[in-house]
């Protein structure tokens, strides 16, 4: 689906258009800047709260980094935990001063401090951390409007079809009036273009126009229109579950996200089970298997995804237990060493696949390499921090308590998205 995009140019408060000439010795330095203060009042530490398995900040950082449009990507923060997450997702960190970290501090004050401390930056691309459905193509096209089309500032909007009325205070005695419609002749939606509203995803501008007009919206201005499905903003707790469903369907999951998963590797201990082995009175080994996980595995198999279960040589299953697990799930059980990467790469090559075609579910530090390479990867909620940081998705469930089903549903949703996009691409080609 192609994004709708319209640009309008004009002078804001008489500010002159900034020079488009690059600095001596090279092109202009374009920097992405995400403001992430630790003192959010609506949702404590909102910027690093998990949304659909990824820290909120991670969604926009992934889009910014993968756009390949920035000379540097920064997070401005006053909080140690936010700094750690920012660095994990590939950003540099500006520790803002206490003067711009107060509840009353404005975004503009924080941006001006950043520009003052980093004078090499020529174009500031302020991306809001609360816009998790941002994609690299949004960023690329908006930046090019400044670097190639000659605009001084570009900001994101969405088209709304909402009728607006003037607010009336009870004590005023005034009558309410309509702002944007004639109540006697209400237009049909298809006969009305609607209105463009800022969606808060980003505000890009040159340093020159920021310093001249005191705003990132000045000089020769353009708007960038985003489709409604990408226009998600999170302010209060009630927004969170709605945003999570939207992100799962329309979010950006990385440049290596597969079109269709063909093979899934899943650790038995700590993922398919809770990591415990039980002994019967006769000395027979037993594990607890969640029926919902077994059902999800069969669903993946009917959708063409082969599932291979992994056990470690430090935590092996007995041959009898492995055989029973195979019968119960229909999956091959493969024993790997403390470094599973080499053996799994051999399996992938034998099946003539690439890592992008693979989903991997692990739960230990030794799984980090595989978690990073796989097109889709996940860990249970109770995985160690190193594994969580290496995964593309962190589940809400604990190991052995439905976590495999949760990841399977995520895989199938991505497959659904790929099919829908393929169908849309075919429709788009018919129109050209």
Looking at the annotation, which residues are catalytic?
A: 186
Which uninterrupted H or E stretch holds 107? helix 107-117
Which uninterrupted H or E stretch holds 157? strand 153-160
Torsion on CA atoms 15, 16, 18, 20, rounded to nearest 10: 150
* Closest by Cα among 233, 203, 183, 206 to 139: 203
User: How many whole angstroms separate alpha carbon 183 and alpha carbon 176?
Assistant: 12
Residue 124 phi/psi, 5-degree rounding, is -105, 120
Number of CB atoms found within 10 A of residue 54's CB: 21
Number of CB atoms found within 10 A of residue 380's CB: 29
Which uninterrupted H or E stretch holds 206? strand 195-206
| Strands 358-361 and 376-379, sheet pairing | parallel
Q: Give the orientation angle of helix 319-329 with respect to helix 291-302, to 10 degrees.
A: 60
User: How many whole angstroms separate alpha carbon 422 and alpha carbon 406?
Assistant: 25
Q: Nearest 5°: CA angle at 292, between 291 and 297?
A: 95
Number of CB atoms found within 10 A of residue 19's CB: 10
Positive or negative CA dihedral for 188, 191, 193, 199? Answer: positive
Put residue 270 in one of left, alpha, beta given phi > 0 → left and psi -120 to 50 → alpha.
left
User: How many whole angstroms separate alpha carbon 330 and alpha carbon 326?
Assistant: 5
Q: Give the orientation angle of helix 239-250 with respect to helix 403-430, to 10 degrees.
A: 60
């Amino acid at each position: 689906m192609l994004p709708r995009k319209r640009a309008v140019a004009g002078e804001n408060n008489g500010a002159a258009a900034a020079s488009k000439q690059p600095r001596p010795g090279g092109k202009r330095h374009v920097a992405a800047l995400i403001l992430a203060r630790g003192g959010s009042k609506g949702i404590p530490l909102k910027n690093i709260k998990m949304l659909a398995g990824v820290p909120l900040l991670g969604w926009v950082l992934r889009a910014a980094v993968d756009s390949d449009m920035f000379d540097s990507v920064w997070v401005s923060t006053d909080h140690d935990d936010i700094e750690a997450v920012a660095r994990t997702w590939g950003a540099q960190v500006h520790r803002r001063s206490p003067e711009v970290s107060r509840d009353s501090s404005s975004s503009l004050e924080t941006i001006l401090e950043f520009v003052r401390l980093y004078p090499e930056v020529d174009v500031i691309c302020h991306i809001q951390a609360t816009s998790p459905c941002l994609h690299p193509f949004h960023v690329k096209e908006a930046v090019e409007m400044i670097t190639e089309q000659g605009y001084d500032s570009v900001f994101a909007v969405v088209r709304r079809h909402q009728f607006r009325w003037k607010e009336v205070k009870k004590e005023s005695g005034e009558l309410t009036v309509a702002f944007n419609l004639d109540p006697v002749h209400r237009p049909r939606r298809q006969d009305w273009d609607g209105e463009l509203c800022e969606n808060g995803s980003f505000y890009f501008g040159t340093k020159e126009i920021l310093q001249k007009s005191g705003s990132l919206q000045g000089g020769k201005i353009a708007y960038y229109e985003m489709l409604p499905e990408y226009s998600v903003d999170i302010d209060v707790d009630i927004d969170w579950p709605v945003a999570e469903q939207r992100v799962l369907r329309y979010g950006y999951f990385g440049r290596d996200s597969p079109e269709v998963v063909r093979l899934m590797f899943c650790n038995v201990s700590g993922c398919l089970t809770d990591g415990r082995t039980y002994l019967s009175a006769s000395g027979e080994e037993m594990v607890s298997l969640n029926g919902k996980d077994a059902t999800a595995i069969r669903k993946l198999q009917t959708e063409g995804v082969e599932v291979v279960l992994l056990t470690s040589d430090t935590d092996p299953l007995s041959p009898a237990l492995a055989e029973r697990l195979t019968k119960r799930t229909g999956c091959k059980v493969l024993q790997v060493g403390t470094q599973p990467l080499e053996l799994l790469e051999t399996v992938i090559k034998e099946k003539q696949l690439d890592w992008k075609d693979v989903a991997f579910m692990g739960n230990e530090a030794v799984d980090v390499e595989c978690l990073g390479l796989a097109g889709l990867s996940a860990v249970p909620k109770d995985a160690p921090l190193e594994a969580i940081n290496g995964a593309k998705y962190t589940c809400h469930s604990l190991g052995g308590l439905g976590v495999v089903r949760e990841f399977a549903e995520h895989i199938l949703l991505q497959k659904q998205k790929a099919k829908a996009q393929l169908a849309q691409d075919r429709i788009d080609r018919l129109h050209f």
